[in-house]
Structures are given as structure tokens and as C-alpha cells.
Amino acid sequence: MSRTVLVVGEVRDGALAPSTAELAAQAATLVPEETGRIGFLAGPHAHAAAASFGALGIPRVRVAKDPRIDGTAPAPLARAIVAAAVADRVSLILLAGSSLGRDVVGRVAAGWGAAAANGATGLEWEGSSVRVTRPVFGGRATETRKLEGDRVVVSLRPHAFPVREFASRTPEVVPIEVPEIPAGLLAPRRTGTVPAAGGSGPGLADAAIVVAGGRGVRSPENFRLVEELAASLGAAVGASRAVTDAGWRPGSLQVGQTGRSVSPQLYIAVGISGAIQHLVGMVSSRVIVAINADPSAPIFRVADYGIAGDLFAIVPALTAAVRRARGLPSPS
């Protein structure tokens, strides 16, 4: 049976978002033949960013030229994706598990008549169906779901799939005509964005490494230990709700049920006890390291590696060791 995968890219700051590389790599795993992999982009920077698909093993890219689609409004974007899927007789659509991607999945499924799933951490063909694995109930269980039918749309959880290297090429860029969009779907328009207060490192959503601090650091001044460790690793900084509620750090850094959900390759929890509200937001991280003075803290139940001891001695020593290993100068 011939299978075709549509990889929906996202554009950030004029370039393809890093998550697109994960989608493309998984598409190559599912469909080894290059001709069965098609890219998709929409928005004002779509044409410029489309060339980057050539380094991701995708020889052909559909671009929505409709000026009313800016790549951020989910309803018009979904209609454009469906148009591309129909034009190329696609059997599977892959999107990033970003806030936009998760929103678009349901809209595409409804408009395309497809089976759908969000937040996949595993994906493979099972006969004529697609078998999806994903965490549920705040990461306390793993669900296996079979999506039947000849139309499937799935979002992939960030950092759950490895990237691959492909020979670079210039992809064919093909415009797609978007069906008429009802005025009501075009009514919500983004008029601007204001960056959330945070650290100087990578954002929580895209970071491969996150270092988060909790009440165990004892004071806002001591939180610098978390930030210094993060800086040495090139990691994003996170915080527990206790830290943000106390005003030690902005709410944009909060990880947990009422904050951000992250799934980095490495999550280091410093002085975080591990209440269930926090675990919900980070338990799907690939590797979890916990540093806490209390050996009975709940965080150790989910940690792959645990260090029970004085964080005020452990964290500076770990930071210094990382800096030496990476050849970084000591902070002034």
C-alpha cells in the first residue's frame, strides 16, 4: 500500500522551528521513500523557510500563499492543511506538539474526516492502521492507541523523537490553493506578542535540557545556583509553583499542572520535593535527575538518577564540573 506523509512545519523568527526536524525524521522512519514525504508551510515567511526542508529529507513542499493565513491562526491554517492533504492524497499528517499544533490537530481531523491523537511519544504502522503511544493521566500511565482508517493526523510530543541527518538538496516548492475561508474563521487576528519574563537561556518549550529549582533553594538569592547550573549546560530555567508563588521568579518559568508541561532530554530538579502537581508537568522527560536533601522526597520515585544531600554543596560542584568538561570559563 502506498503511503504519503505530510509534515507540517512551523516558522519561528523566519526559520523552521527545531520541532520540524523531529517530524521529518519520524516521517522518514515511517516512509523510507522520499517521494512519500511532503512538507507544508503557511504564512508570510513560508517561501523563504521552505528551502530548509531540503536538509530534512523532504523533496517537495506545499506552500499556502493565501495572504489571510499567517501561520498562527489555527482555523484558517487547518483548512490549508486539509487542502494540501487532499491534493496529495496523504494518509498521515504529522504536526509538532506545540500549543498551535495541538489546537490544529482536532480542526484538521474534523475537516478531513480523520482519526487523531495528540502528544505521541511512539508512532508506527500496524497493518493499515497507525499505532500511537503517549503518556496519559499526567504521565502516570502510558496509553497505546490504534488509529484506524486511511486518514490519520497526529501531533508528536517535543523531544520524544530523535532527529536525523540527510543529504541537503533544493526541494520543489509547490503552491496550494486554499478553499474559501468563512469570515468568522478569519476574525481572530494576532495583533502583537509580548515576550514573557524569563531567563537568558533557551525557552522552556524547546529546550533539550531544563534545570528547575524549588522551595529547597530557600531564598530568591540562592536561586542563582539553579541559573548558573542551567547556564553551564545551555539549559532552560524552570521553577516549581512554590517559587513562582513566592515571587522569586516569574510565573512564565513555572513547570507543573498550572504551569508549563515540558519533555526535555534531561530534566534536573533542584530542591523540588515532587508534589503531583509538579510531576504532571515534567514526568515525561527522557532522563530525570533529582537533587534533594530529603531521601524520602516523592521526586526520587520518578527520577532516573537521584542525589540525596545538601544542594548548596552539590549544585556548585556540579556546575564547576560541567564548566571544566565543556571548557567554559568560571563566572566572574
To which residue does cell 503552491 refer?
175
Cα separation of 316 and 305, whole Å?
A: 18
DSSP letter at 157 equals: P
Q: Is 16 helix (H, G, I), strand (E, B) or coil?
A: strand
**What pLDDT is stored for residue 258 in this prediction?**
87
Which sign, positive or negative, has the C-alpha torsion 266, 95, 184, 186? positive
Measure the CA dihedral 284/289/293/299, to 10°.
20
**What pLDDT is stored for residue 47 in this prediction?**
85
Q: Which helix (H) or strand (E) holds 105?
A: helix 99-112
Residues 6+ apart with CB under 8 A from 1: 128
DSSP letter at 290 equals: E
**What pLDDT is stored for residue 189 in this prediction?**
72
Closest by CA position to 45, among listed 24, 28, 64: 64
Map out the domains of the chain with their CATH numbers.
5-186 (3.40.50.620), 209-326 (3.40.50.1220)
Flag residues of the chain having pLDDT under 70: 1, 70-72, 138-140, 194-201, 331-332
Cα separation of 104 and 72, whole Å?
A: 10
Q: Is 178 helix (H, G, I), strand (E, B) or coil?
A: coil
Asked if 174 and 84 count as a contact pair (C-beta separation under 8 A), the reply is: no
**What pLDDT is stored for residue 200 in this prediction?**
58
User: Measuring CA to CA, how many Å separate 80 from each of 65, 185, 191, 269, 285?
Assistant: 10, 12, 21, 41, 33
